[in-house]
Structure 1
Amino acid sequence: MTNLGDLEVFVRVIAAGSMSTAARDLGLSPAVVSKRIKRLEDKLGTRLLQRTTRQISLTEAGQGFYERVLTVLGGLEEAEAYASGRSSEVNGTLKISAPTSFGRMHVAPHLKPFMQAHPDLTINLVLTDELTDIVGGGFDLAIRIAGLNDSSLVAKRLASVRRVLCASPAYLAEYGTPRSLDDLKAHRCLPAHNHEYWRLEGPDGQVSLRPEGQLITNSSEVIREAVIAGLGIALRSTWDIGAELKSGKLVQVLPDYESSRSVALFAVYPTRQFLPAKVRLFIDYLAELYGPVAYWER
């Protein structure tokens, strides 16, 4: 039977991205970590990791093995919590991926109560706008804003996401308020990415248009600041500019048109029979925090 400690070392190596980092985290020498990985590979009769001087990566067999090991270790953690009556007492590290702006605005400010309730738990919050490889990156869960259709992952819907067309009062005073989608051709629009299409739903169903403007950037946060500053019309999520809409810094234009309603906010995690208590507790915390109607919509 495979040594359980070797499985834990294997998972830690994948999460850390290198044997030396995993060794430091585990309080072991790199040589010991390498020896235990080799022992595991010898036991299984297959190579799990591709090693180079700079990085490691999972082989095809390693990927499938890693996913199943997560299930085993997650089940053990859940079983221990159940047997000891510590289902609300968690420790270790919870590694979370979230979109940059959303994580900064709607995850980070709310960590304190959760961390105070679970003082033995360490949060590793990674903010990125790239699509995270949850399994390969060793993440416990990811917060995603999308229309999900990946059956290899489990997703819990946390909140609806609305994207609306908006502009500053100063911009509208100078350039006028558009009355139809065709009017947008004469306006300065602010796409979040070059060559982006705006896909909207309106009275006549779905429509798609390519916005034109003078500002080109790969930063969604730059677009946010630009629309507030009066540089044009943007399509923004209400979680991003809800406060500005309420204060009057921004005004919704063409209110009959919004982005696709199939997009929502999800907590996504690897498929496993037993969800670790730390993941379940954090997902429940976010679901209660955002509520049936998210606070930025109230």
Structure 2
Amino acid sequence: MVKLDGISSFVAIAEAGSISAAARRLHLSKSVVSERLADLEQGLGAPLFHRTTRKLSLTEDGLAFLDRALRIVREVEEAAAEVGERRGQLTGPMRLSAPVTFGRMHLGPALYPFLGAHPGISMTLELDDRRVEVSAEGFDAVVRNGTIADSRLVAWVLAPSRRFLVASPDYLRRHGTPRSLAELSDHRAIHYANRGIADWRFLDTRPDEFVRPHAVLRVNNGDLMRGAALAGLGLALLPTFIVGEQIRSGELVIVDVGREVEQEFIYMAHPDGRRVSTKLRALADALKAAFGDPPYWDVGVPPAPGATIART
């Protein structure tokens, strides 16, 4: 007999890539998940994974079974959620991904009252600065900071994300303050490694106008970028949700090079074509309300430099 818990375990293993990772996701012991997989394979009469000492990979039968298994698990989760919604309750599992720094500084504090108000929700939040594949990795949604470009996702804007080129007063005393894009070539930069130099996008700028500054540090975390800028290592392009406090205190100074930085957004995105649960919509509304309009991290931060400077 094929059991639902075996199907759920199989899906978790396929998405997580290992039995250990699936067990952590399901909050079960590794032995229980292994036993459920073995029972499922016995019931189906076919192995679903190739097993080696290093990894698991789906067999041909496993690949064929995975698509239907995903639909079964999602249908059961959605059916259970619908029952709760009919009774006026938000219930069931939710799995989200979000950037590390934003999650620590802002998303977590906004989530706590929401989860407290809806104890029937069981949320898994994974903080990771890489770009996750929402559907393939089993997330209900992702919270991201950036431009909205992925056509496979439906995005709900939660808040604007203003970014500024900043540096410490000490760095500017030692190296001078750049006043144009061309002058950036004489400076040192702290880059977000997941985007690199392509992250430095300014409005109304020709490709030949931008001169790449020397990268003194590349790192894939906003907390470390802020720390490097505060230490006087170089210029950094960072959102106000990371450096708003330091701009207000004067620990970091906004550098005006005559161009406004391309606008980005904090948004929640979910796979296109999938039924959107009531609890996901409720979460998006709660986050928008918690962040505010304008968002609270922008309070006291001056207007974007370069916004009224004519192009030459």
Matched, 1:247 2:249: yes
Counterpart mapping for 1:1-298 below 5 A:
7-14=7-14, 17-19=17-19, 21=23, 24=28, 28=32, 30-37=34-41, 39=43, 51-57=51-57, 60-62=63-65, 64-69=67-72, 71-83=74-86, 85-86=87-88, 88-91=89-92, 93-193=93-193, 196-204=197-205, 208-254=210-256, 256-261=258-263, 263-298=264-299
Aligned residues of 1:156 and 1:268 also touching (Cα < 8 A): yes
Task: Say which is worse superposed, 268-277 or 172-181, in terms of deviation.
Answer: 268-277
**Code of the aligned partner of 2:127:** L
Alpha-carbon shift at residue 53 of structure 1 (Å): 4.6
CA 1:208–1:143: 2 relative to 1, 3 Å:
farther
Task: Say which is worse superposed, 113-122 or 240-249, in terms of deviation.
Answer: 113-122
- SS of 1:154's equivalent? strand
**Code of the aligned partner of 2:202:** E
Task: Tell me which residue corresponds to 2:310.
Answer: none
- SS of 2:136's equivalent? coil
Alpha-carbon shift at residue 104 of structure 1 (Å): 1.2
**Code of the aligned partner of 1:288:** A
- SS of 1:214's equivalent? strand
- SS of 2:268's equivalent? strand
* Partner Cα separation in structure 2 for residue 67 and residue 152 of structure 1: 18
**Code of the aligned partner of 2:154:** V
**Code of the aligned partner of 2:152:** S
- SS of 1:234's equivalent? strand
Mark the runs of 5 or more structure 1 residues left unpaired by the alignment: none
Return the structure number with greater relative CO, CA threshold 8 A, min gap 6. 1
* Partner Cα separation in structure 1 for residue 9 and residue 238 of structure 2: 43
Q: What is the CA deviation profile of residues 114-145 of structure 1, one whole-angstrom value per residue up to 9, with x for unaligned ones?
A: 22112343332211112213233332221122
Aligned residues of 1:103 and 1:127 also touching (Cα < 8 A): yes
* Partner Cα separation in structure 2 for residue 250 and residue 126 of structure 1: 30
Alpha-carbon shift at residue 165 of structure 1 (Å): 0.8
Q: How many residues align?
A: 290
Task: Say which is worse superposed, 156-165 or 236-245, in terms of deviation.
Answer: 156-165
CA 1:8–1:208: 2 relative to 1, 3 Å:
same
Alpha-carbon shift at residue 269 of structure 1 (Å): 2.2
Aligned residues of 1:90 and 1:278 also touching (Cα < 8 A): yes
CA 1:274–1:188: 2 relative to 1, 3 Å:
closer
Aligned residues of 2:181 and 2:258 also touching (Cα < 8 A): no
* Partner Cα separation in structure 2 for residue 17 and residue 119 of structure 1: 30
TM-score of the two chains, using structure 1 as the length reference: 0.79
Q: What is the CA deviation profile of residues 160-190 of structure 1, one whole-angstrom value per residue up to 9, with x for unaligned ones?
A: 2222111122222333222111122222222
Aligned residues of 1:14 and 1:137 also touching (Cα < 8 A): no
CA 1:66–1:53: 2 relative to 1, 3 Å:
farther
* Partner Cα separation in structure 1 for residue 14 and residue 30 of structure 2: 13
* Partner Cα separation in structure 1 for residue 69 and residue 284 of structure 2: 23
Aligned residues of 1:163 and 1:236 also touching (Cα < 8 A): yes
* Partner Cα separation in structure 2 for residue 106 and residue 134 of structure 1: 21
* Partner Cα separation in structure 2 for residue 150 and residue 197 of structure 1: 17
Mark the runs of 5 or more structure 2 residues left unpaired by the alignment: 300-312
Task: Say which is worse superposed, 132-141 or 232-241, in terms of deviation.
Answer: 132-141
* Partner Cα separation in structure 2 for residue 60 and residue 257 of structure 1: 50
- SS of 1:189's equivalent? strand
